[in-house]
Amino acid sequence: MCGRFVATAPPDQIARYFDAEPPEAALEPNWNVAPTHDVYAVLSDGSTRRVEALHWGLVPRWAKGPSVGSKMINARAETLAERNAYKAAYRKRRCLIPADGFYEWKAEPGQKRKQPYFIHRADGEPMAFAGLWEVWRDPATDGADRLHSCCIITGEPNEAVRPVHDRMPVMLPPETWDTWLDPANDDLDTLGRLLVPAHARLYDLYPVSTDVNSVRNRGPHLIERVETQGTLL
């Protein structure tokens, strides 16, 4: 599962990193991105990549209202081709969701509350979460009002994350981006082979303050290392 992550890079930097056109409007840096927040996503029309701000929480085209998106922040890699909420987007509307890192929580001996951990790339490079996106048209306005939304694909954890959680976001390396983003590519066997755990050696994690538990807290202190009496091993 991925329920909180960090996204602080400015849009022009994201656009350069992903070789994409920048978005029309900038989002504020956020060290505690939560479901229903707007997030950057990298999309492609088959020839040009672009960065857009999407609502985190996928709203399928057939949904009666946008509130269903709050329950669809993550999609399991193993069932993308089967679930009605995701299978159409899996074939045609895939994206990358840039992140500085993400949080997971673990029960620690002697602590009443779970201990949050910040998980990030050891080399400081951005993460590229595999994602899906959709466009929901409001039937109350005959489709004039539209909501562009997305979700993060999760899969099995690697050895670094497994002690903390049994799921993690699928993170795609640059050599897979063209294949993943191409809307003309509906080869589910090829796409499915991309949805594997990232190499554990690329990632680092450490305990952070329980301030991250509140979505009201969005500042940089949330990713500062704290001491804990627990252990991951």
- Residue 1 in this model has a pLDDT that exceeds 80: no
Counted residue by residue, the chain has a size of: 233
The whole-angstrom separation of Cα 52 and Cα 27 is 10
Least confident range from 72-76, 110-114, 223-227: namely: 110-114
pLDDT of residue 47: 93
Q: Per 3-state DSSP, what percentage of the chain is helix, strand, and coil (rounded to 5)?
A: 20, 35, 45
Helix (H, G, I), strand (E, B) or coil at 176: helix
Q: Which whole number is the average pLDDT over 26-30? A: 97
What does the block give as tokens for 133? 């996106």
- CATH 3.90.1680.10 matches 5-223: yes
The secondary structure of residue 23, as a DSSP letter, is: P
Note the pTM of the prediction, 2 decimals.
0.95
Banded model confidence at residue 102, pLDDT cuts 50, 70, 90: very high
Banded model confidence at residue 140, pLDDT cuts 50, 70, 90: confident
The whole-angstrom separation of Cα 34 and Cα 115 is 18
**Cβ partners under 8 Å of residue 161, min gap 6:** 104, 119, 168, 200, 203, 205
Nearest C-alpha neighbor of 224 from the set 204, 205, 208, 201: 208
Of 2, 95, 150, 151, the catalytic one is 2
The whole-angstrom separation of Cα 173 and Cα 153 is 15
* In the chain, % of residues over pLDDT 90: 90
Q: Does 28 participate in catalysis according to the annotation? A: no
Model confidence pLDDT, tens digit, residues 4-16: 999 999 999 999 9
Sheet with 115-121: strands ordered across: 30-33, 5-7, 101-106, 115-121, 203-207
**Cβ partners under 8 Å of residue 216, min gap 6:** none
pLDDT of residue 110: 82
Q: Does 104 participate in catalysis according to the annotation? A: yes
What does the block give as tokens for 166? 């049994």
- Residue 144 in this model has a pLDDT that exceeds 90: no
Average pLDDT, the chain: 94
pLDDT of residue 63: 93
- Of residues 29 and 111, more confidently modeled: 29
pLDDT of residue 25: 87
* In the chain, % of residues over pLDDT 70: 98
Q: Which whole number is the average pLDDT over 155-179? A: 96
What does the block give as tokens for 224? 């500062």
**DSSP string of 120-166, one letter each residue:** EETT-PPEEEEEEEEEEE-GGGTT-SEEEEEEEEEE---TTTTTT-S
Nearest C-alpha neighbor of 130 from the set 157, 106, 164, 154: 154
Of 52, 95, 104, 134, the catalytic one is 104
Cβ atoms of 130 and 143 closer than 8 Å: no
Model confidence pLDDT, tens digit, residues 33-91: 999 999 999 999 999 999 999 999 999 999 999 999 999 999 999 999 999 999 999 99
Q: Which whole number is the average pLDDT over 9-36? A: 97
Identity at 30, one-letter amino acid code = N
- Residue 233 in this model has a pLDDT that exceeds 70: no
